[in-house]
């Protein structure tokens, strides 16, 4: 998932962000072209970047000088300093096209300060109960944790996948339903990974949603867009599918995480609230104010 920030005229590249200069560097290890427009790029940072799942990190590459792009890692923080980014060519491709089309192992990337708090929802699930309280103390009954509904549009899958992996290590992982949406089946570029995750994580259920059953001739899907155990994708926008599956009062008790382009987030949030979701428990990155409509959720799945 990408956010692009251009430096103002006369502003040095390193100060394109308001939260200080970049402080980390890394080298590209692997570039996987998952479709014509989507690449998965893995990077190694000798000094691991201190971030939390769900955050986005500003990236500067020599392939697009003068431009910082914010991308969300698809892996949780790890001592090895390994990062994975899911990048799609968007908005004409002036910023994202060089990364997708021309990145190679050995390229050096520069990183700025992470920001965002999408993964903070895991805090309420992260405390292990004391089954043997000290004498004179009693453990009060804990309220049942809310199940989590995740709605991913296109490469918005990346931050949600990192949150899923982090949640798997919790003492009592919440039940999670991931609705993963794309325009066509071939654009479900990481389907193999999420299906394998669902087979190994009993708390995870995966549903896929596509707007069209047939791929465009130039989609060029790779092997990660399919899995023999994958269910048939539901037809419709991810938000429509999520509402249909939880229409019987199930949304009001869910914590909802949404990730995708800004227009998709706004349209999805509006639709969920109208269907009964509690807006206090709907989480996503801040988005600029735009005209919200159901049509916005259809085209902006990046």
% of the chain exceeding 70 in pLDDT: 80
- Is the distance from CB of 124 to CB of 172 less than 8 angstroms? no
Q: Specify whether 122 is located in the same domain as 81.
A: no
| Residue 17 within a domain | yes
- Is the distance from CB of 300 to CB of 153 less than 8 angstroms? yes
Q: Specify whether 72 is located in the same domain as 148.
A: no
Q: Specify whether 29 is located in the same domain as 154.
A: no
% of the chain exceeding 90 in pLDDT: 71
pLDDT of residue 247: 83
* Domain count of the fold of the chain: 2
**Tens-place pLDDT, residues 123-176:** 888 755 445 555 555 444 455 679 999 999 999 999 999 999 999 999 889 999
| Residue 133 within a domain | no
Indicate which CATH number applies to the domain containing 29. Answer: 2.40.30.10
| Residue 134 within a domain | no
Of the pLDDT bands very low, low, confident and very high (cuts 50, 70, 90), residue 95 is confident
Q: Specify whether 162 is located in the same domain as 192.
A: yes
Question: Taking the mean position of all CA atoms in its chain, how far away is CA 291?
Answer: 23
More confident residue, 258 or 286: 258
Q: Specify whether 107 is located in the same domain as 148.
A: no
Q: Specify whether 156 is located in the same domain as 280.
A: yes
Q: Specify whether 106 is located in the same domain as 148.
A: no
pLDDT of residue 274: 95
The alpha carbon torsion through 249, 207, 194, 115 (nearest 10 deg) reads: -50
Q: Specify whether 290 is located in the same domain as 252.
A: yes
**Tens-place pLDDT, residues 237-266:** 999 999 999 988 789 999 999 999 999 999
- Is the distance from CB of 157 to CB of 194 less than 8 angstroms? yes
Query: Which residue range(s) make up the domain with 53?
Result: 2-111
pTM (2 decimals)? Answer: 0.85
| Residue 175 within a domain | yes
Q: Specify whether 242 is located in the same domain as 294.
A: yes
- Is the distance from CB of 185 to CB of 220 less than 8 angstroms? no
């Amino acid at each position: 998932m990408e956010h692009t920030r251009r430096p103002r005229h006369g502003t040095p590249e390193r100060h394109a962000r308001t939260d200080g200069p970049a402080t980390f560097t890394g080298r590209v290890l692997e570039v996987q072209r998952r479709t014509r427009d989507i690449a998965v790029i893995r990077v190694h940072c000798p000094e691991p970047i201190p971030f939390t799942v769900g955050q986005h990190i500003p990236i500067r590459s020599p392939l697009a000088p003068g431009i910082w792009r914010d991308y969300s890692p698809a892996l949780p923080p790890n001592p090895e300093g390994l990062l994975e980014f899911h990048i799609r060519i968007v908005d004409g491709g002036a910023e994202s096209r060089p990364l997708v089309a021309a990145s190679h192992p050995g390229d050096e990337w520069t990183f700025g300060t992470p920001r965002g708090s999408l993964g903070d929802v895991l805090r309420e699930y992260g405390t292990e109960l004391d089954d043997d309280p000290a004498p004179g103390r009693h453990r009060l009954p804990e309220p049942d944790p809310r199940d989590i509904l995740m709605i991913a549009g296109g490469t918005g899958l990346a931050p949600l996948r990192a949150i899923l992996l982090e949640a798997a290590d919790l003492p009592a992982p919440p039940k999670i339903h991931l609705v993963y949406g794309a325009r066509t089946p071939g654009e479900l570029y990481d389907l193999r990974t999420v299906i394998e995750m669902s087979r190994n994580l009993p708390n995870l259920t995966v549903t896929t949603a596509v707007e069209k059953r047939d791929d465009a001739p130039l989609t060029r899907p790779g092997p990660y867009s399919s899995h023999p155990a994958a269910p048939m994708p539901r037809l419709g926008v991810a938000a429509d599918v999520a509402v249909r599956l939880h229409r019987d009062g199930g949304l009001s008790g869910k914590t909802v995480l949404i990730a995708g382009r800004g227009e998709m987030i706004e349209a999805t949030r509006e639709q969920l609230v109208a269907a009964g979701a509690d807006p206090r428990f709907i989480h996503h990155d801040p988005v600029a104010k735009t005209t919200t409509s159901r049509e916005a959720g259809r085209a902006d799945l990046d």
